[in-house]
């Protein structure tokens, strides 16, 4: 059997020993990790993630570098069906939409239509009272760097349908929230991921341009880059190419509609379209957006864990990756790029299961993908919704300032973790409930008198108890 030359070098160095040899070993290991993956390695990776791990019914990977673009796909558009995913299959890209919103901000600033330091009050109706703190108002840049002090979601976000949670959140509700909200931290001081903030930014930019968010993205970004399959509203031809989403256990779920906060997560796209977007962002192709794209990737504020944020983009100082990810109830997406050498990756999946590690591995930021076991399938039980009243309330974890707030709306039960969106939970029994948008479950516990005392969150192999206040 022929020995791999790199492995032979490692063997010889280990036999020789010494500090210099050890250092060289690490250099070789780093090379093995960061070198571009071969086509056969990517095919093997997809086989592992789709066929063995069953992370998603279908996954599409796109890679672009100085040699051009390549697309790899495995699996089907929908469980139980035969149509295969490919580079033209549409997926919800969730929060990857935010990168488009950041680009729109810089593009409009380059045109002189807005300034990054403009207060948001300049573009909202006069009747909307915008939050301030210590005499300072929120600027457009604060929204794009997620340092506005606004929470992840507004407190009047109460979806009627937990399977399509953003669909009924209105502009009127958004304005009502802004007019009465009191900021809890200084503007520009601390990074806090906020769907609300970036959704508001998209709304403001559309107001300034005299159009809606989708039309603005299409005219300013999609048309110049010939991204003809990136839209929110799908014409019949595009809708026919949309892969249905699936929950963590593989059941088909509804698509999400995000009218008011579209800039936070409303776009659908394909791997082929996203490769055009990434090639331009990585400097592999030139466009009218090249200058704006470069400015969105400039670090502007720390965002924790050794990284910075540009205009939406997350930027890793080490290993030098610029990235963002996204997820909705039935999809996950990841985009990332490097400048030296220039290359970029997109990963799209029609499942709520995480796929970030696939993109990180392809960019050389990790040595392999995570071990993954498909979650247990959960079956919804029919119970009397009247029992939900006993579960309503706020539950406090003992190890952190985090709570779970449980609410009832008619025959539906919702749970909201501090800093997260509110999602419906579904009964498996009178005490056990499960999420459809993520692999997590809740168990309500009672004392000897039958009073509800605690809720246990089961997620990522951990069972964390929160006491009812």
pLDDT at 278 over 90: yes
Burial of 82 (0-12, 13-18, 19+ CB in 10 A): exposed
Which helix (H) or strand (E) is 413 found in, with range? strand 412-417
φ, ψ of residue 214 to 5 degrees: the values are -60, -45
- Average pLDDT (158-184) is 95
Cβ neighbours of 199 (radius 10 Å) = 29
Are 84 and 68 a contacting pair, CB within 8 Å?
no
> What percent of the chain lies above the pLDDT cut of 70?
93
How many residues does the structure list for the chain? 469
- Average pLDDT (346-356) is 97
Are 249 and 376 a contacting pair, CB within 8 Å?
yes
Per-domain boundaries in the chain: 5-35, 40-363, 385-468
pLDDT at 399 over 80: no
Query: What is the CATH number that goes with domain 40-363?
Result: 3.40.710.10
pLDDT one-digit tens code per residue, 217-247? 999 999 999 999 999 999 999 999 999 999 9
- Average pLDDT (313-328) is 96
In this prediction, residue 349 has a pLDDT band, given cuts at 50, 70 and 90, of very high
pLDDT at 25 over 50: no
Highest mean predicted confidence (pLDDT) among 306-315, 398-407, 434-443:
306-315
- Average pLDDT (153-164) is 90
244-259 burial, b at 16+ Cβ within 10 Å, e below that, comes to bbbbbbbbebbbbebb
pLDDT one-digit tens code per residue, 47-64? 999 999 999 999 999 999
Structure tokens of 14? Answer: 């280990």
pLDDT at 21 over 70: no
With a CB cutoff of 8 Å and minimum separation 6, the contacts of 194 are 143, 146, 148, 150, 151, 152, 153
Fold agreement between 40-363 and 385-468: no
pLDDT at 288 over 80: yes
pLDDT given at position 8 = 46
In this prediction, residue 389 has a pLDDT band, given cuts at 50, 70 and 90, of very high
SS3 category, 117: coil
pLDDT given at position 418 = 85
Which helix (H) or strand (E) is 462 found in, with range? strand 462-468
CA distance 147 to 189: 6
* pTM confidence score: 0.85
pLDDT given at position 7 = 44
pLDDT at 296 over 60: yes
pLDDT given at position 16 = 53
Least confident of 46-55, 345-354, 414-423: 414-423
In this prediction, residue 34 has a pLDDT band, given cuts at 50, 70 and 90, of low
Burial of 203 (0-12, 13-18, 19+ CB in 10 A): buried
Smallest Cα–Cα separation from 183: which of 129, 105, 127, 145?
A: 129
| Sheet-wide strand order for 322-327 | 68-75, 58-65, 342-349, 332-339, 322-327, 314-316, 307-309, 301-304
pLDDT at 376 over 90: no
**Average model confidence (pLDDT) for the chain?**
92
- For the domain with range 385-468, which CATH number is right: 2.60.120.10, 2.40.128.50, 3.40.50.2000, 1.10.10.10? 2.40.128.50
> What percent of the chain lies above the pLDDT cut of 90?
83
259 or 33: which leads in pLDDT: 259
- Average pLDDT (68-77) is 98
pLDDT given at position 390 = 97
- Average pLDDT (390-408) is 90
């Amino acid at each position: 059997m022929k020995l791999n030359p790199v492995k032979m070098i490692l063997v010889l160095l280990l036999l020789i020993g010494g500090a210099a040899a050890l250092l060289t070993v690490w250099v070789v290991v780093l090379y093995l990790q960061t070198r571009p993956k071969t086509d056969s390695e990517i095919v093997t990776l997809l086989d592992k993630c789709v066929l063995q791990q069953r992370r998603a019914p279908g996954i599409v990977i796109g890679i672009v570098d100085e040699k051009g673009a390549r697309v790899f796909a495995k699996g089907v558009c929908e469980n139980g069906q035969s149509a295969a995913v490919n580079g033209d299959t549409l997926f919800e890209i969730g929060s990857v939409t935010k990168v488009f919103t950041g680009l729109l901000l810089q593009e409009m600033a380059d045109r002189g239509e807005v300034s990054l330091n403009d207060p948001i009050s300049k573009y909202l109706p006069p009747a909307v009272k915008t939050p301030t703190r210590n005499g300072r108002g929120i600027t457009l840049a604060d929204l794009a760097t997620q340092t506005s002090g606004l929470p992840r979601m507004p407190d009047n976000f109460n979806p009627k349908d937990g399977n399509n949670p953003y669909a009924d959140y209105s502009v009127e509700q958004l304005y009502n929230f802004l007019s009465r909200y009191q900021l809890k931290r200084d503007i520009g001081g601390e990074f806090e991921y906020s769907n609300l903030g970036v959704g508001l930014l998209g709304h403001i930019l559309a107001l300034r341009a005299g159009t809606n968010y989708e039309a603005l993205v299409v005219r300013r970004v999609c048309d110049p880059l010939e991204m003809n399959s990136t839209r929110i509203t799908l014409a019949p031809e595009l809708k026919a190419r949309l892969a249905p989403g699936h929950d963590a256990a593989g059941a088909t779920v509804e698509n999400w509609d995000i009218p008011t906060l579209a800039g936070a997560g409303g776009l659908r796209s394909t791997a082929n379209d996203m490769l055009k977007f990434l090639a331009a962002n990585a400097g592999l192709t030139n466009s009218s957006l090249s200058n704006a794209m470069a400015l969105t990737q400039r670090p502007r504020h720390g965002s924790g864990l050794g990284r910075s944020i540009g205009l939406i983009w997350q930027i890793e100082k080490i290993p030098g990756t610029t990235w963002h990810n996204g997820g909705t109830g039935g999809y996950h997406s990841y985009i990332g790029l490097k400048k030296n050498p220039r290359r970029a990756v997109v990963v799209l999946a029609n499942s709520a299961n995480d796929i970030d590690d696939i993109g990180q591995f392809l960019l050389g930021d990790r040595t392999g993908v995570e071990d993954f076991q498909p979650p247990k399938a959960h079956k919804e039980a029919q119970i009397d919704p009247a029992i939900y009243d006993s579960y309503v309330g706020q539950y406090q974890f003992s190890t952190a300032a985090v709570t779970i707030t449980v609410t009832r709306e008619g025959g539906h039960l919702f749970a909201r973790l501090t800093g997260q969106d509110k999602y419906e939970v579904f009964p498996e029994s009178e005490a056990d409930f499960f999420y459809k948008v993520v692999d997590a479950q809740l168990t309500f516990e009672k004392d000897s008198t039958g009073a509800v005392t605690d809720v246990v969150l089961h997620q990522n192999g951990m069972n964390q108890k929160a006491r009812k206040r």
